């Protein structure tokens, strides 16, 4: 019974975070390019499985703005499509954008 109660509480927390996120700007996950990113507890996550964590005060709108800045900087000098990746260890994960054509690299803060 206790496990069922814990599972229900976790489900309610997830639902609350997803509802709150809907009122924020929608930011498409740069990895899967299908789902929206959303904040869950102290992480930015996607249903595809990526997690950004370890940085204090992760804010979804700042991630979106950093993605726009990176895309603008890259597109000023290159018309190729960049790739995104996550570098992670147990304490920190970082989203990076890189272009194999022009060698552009940008770490999304």
* Contact by Cβ (8 Å): 50, 86: yes
What's the confidence (pLDDT) of residue 77?
94
pTM listed for this prediction: 0.72
CA distances to 51, 71, 80 from 57, rounded to whole Å, are 14, 23, 32
pLDDT band at 21 (very low <50, low <70, confident <90, very high): very low
> Which residues face 106 on adjacent strands?
97
Q: How high is the mean pLDDT of the chain?
A: 84
- Predicted confidence (pLDDT) at residue 94 exceeds the cutoff of 80: yes
Q: Please choose, from the candidates 66, 13, 70, the residue with its C-alpha nearest in 3D space to the C-alpha of residue 43.
A: 13
What's the confidence (pLDDT) of residue 8?
56
Bridge pairing between strands 105-108 and 38-40: unpaired
* Contact by Cβ (8 Å): 45, 52: yes
d(CA 48, CA 100) in angstroms, rounded, equals 24
CA distances to 14, 17, 38, 59 from 41, rounded to whole Å, are 9, 8, 10, 11
């Amino acid at each position: 019974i206790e496990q069922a109660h814990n599972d229900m509480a976790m489900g309610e927390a997830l639902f609350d975070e997803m509802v709150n996120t809907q009122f924020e700007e929608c930011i498409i996950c740069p990895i899967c390019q299908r789902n929206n990113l959303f904040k869950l507890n102290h992480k930015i996550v996607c249903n595809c499985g990526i997690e950004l964590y370890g940085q204090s005060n992760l804010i979804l709108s700042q991630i979106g703005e950093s993605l726009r800045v990176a895309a603008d900087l890259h597109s000023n000098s290159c018309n190729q499509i960049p790739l995104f990746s996550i570098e992670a260890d147990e304490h920190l994960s970082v989203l990076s954008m890189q272009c194999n054509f022009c060698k552009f690299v940008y770490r999304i803060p």
